[in-house]
A and B are shown apart, each in its own frame.
Chain A
């Protein structure tokens, strides 16, 4: 594979290199890009390495969690303060993949991959993006909608509010056990105040080309108690807005058929 590896000493330098070379990519774990470069599909001729830029840290400040783009799934899974995300991180690949696959890279994983991005979307994460013009913060939902355009820059980190204990739920449906790509994934943050859900966020994976919000489900649940009636109402609109693909894991038809079943199970706890 004819390509260069470039080490840089700052994120701004990396962003400048990426902006000036459309064949350059920012390389973290490499689980997606190294294969892409080797296959010749991506016209990649330079990797700008994330090594040594300090993107491998997890920080907490005033109820907010910031995870560096180069933090691995294994590191998330091993962090006791992020125990609610351990099932998400552990669901991705085998141990060798989790030792290198990063949170930043997962934002670019095409369906049916990208389970961590599903969780982050439910958590309402923002993405710190470094471009040649400087750093900016982008809502993850907007980031995912314009994902390919962000290759001119690089992801520094993601930030989200630590959810209340028990408010975060995640469910991934797979065919190859114990680990496999998703038939579908669902993540939800279900904060309750006075017995009513407030600030509900639900996200799907493998139900569209990127992780998406389940807006109709959120609307059906918002302000309600999480009881049988609310769950019924949410399940009725479970497939609204979805555009799943047919791939080796499942057909689009199957994904639409089983999504309501798994949403019901997730909501019923």
Chain B
């Protein structure tokens, strides 16, 4: 089997792998790099469990051949915690019981981070819109929306302190 080199930055660290040309980014992240927070859900762009941030934009890693993102900067959930301390979004999800089974949580948090990176003071409707491509089947959306709003408030408070 022919393999192609792919190199990109994941959570600030440069990574290089030889992969099959059609290998999907989600599989490379999980199976080659051990970054298993990113989930394979529907595999067709419907559920959002594989959401990552690529060059600042939220994208679905199940729909992207890894060979296409050579040179890109990729953020996954594993990159959020700084120095072992959970990210504000992670704290808010835990505190607000916004994760039950947890399968959708990494995608939800990455979708929320993509929102807060460009809009630190979102309204409820903007949060709903931001996670509209992410499906949750057990927690329910209300705690998730509330957690994102709480995290946004915490981030603003930390910035102004």
Contact = CB atoms under 8 A, between A and B. Distances in A.
Contacts of A93: 45, 133
Nearest to B44: A35
A100 B128 CA distance: 20
A38 B133 CA distance: 21
B132 A35 contact: no
Nearest to B2: A4
B81 interface: no
Contacts of B128: 178
A37 interface: yes
User: Which secondary structure dominates chain B's binding surface?
Assistant: mixed
Interface residues of B, number: 32
B132 A51 contact: no
A3 B20 CA distance: 8
Given A5-B21, A37-B22, A95 B63 contact: no
A98 to B, nearest CB: 8
Query: In this complex, which of A3, A5, A47 has the most chain B Cβ atoms within 10 angstroms of its Cβ?
Result: A5
B138 interface: no
Contact of B130 (A29, A30, A47, A95): A95
A66 to B, nearest CB: 24
B21 A31 contact: no
B24 interface: yes
Contacts of B134: 94
Interface string A178-196: 1100000000000000000
Given A34-B64, A100-B59, 15 more contacts: A1-B22, A3-B21, A4-B21, A5-B21, A5-B22, A30-B65, A30-B68, A31-B63, A35-B63, A74-B57, A95-B111, A95-B114, A96-B58, A100-B64, A178-B132
29 contacts: A1-B20, A2-B1, A2-B22, A3-B22, A4-B22, A5-B65, A5-B67, A30-B64, A30-B65, A31-B45, A34-B24, A34-B64, A35-B44, A38-B43, A47-B65, A49-B68, A94-B132, A95-B133, A96-B45, A96-B51, A96-B60, A96-B133, A97-B45, A97-B133, A99-B57, A100-B59, A100-B63, A178-B129, A179-B132
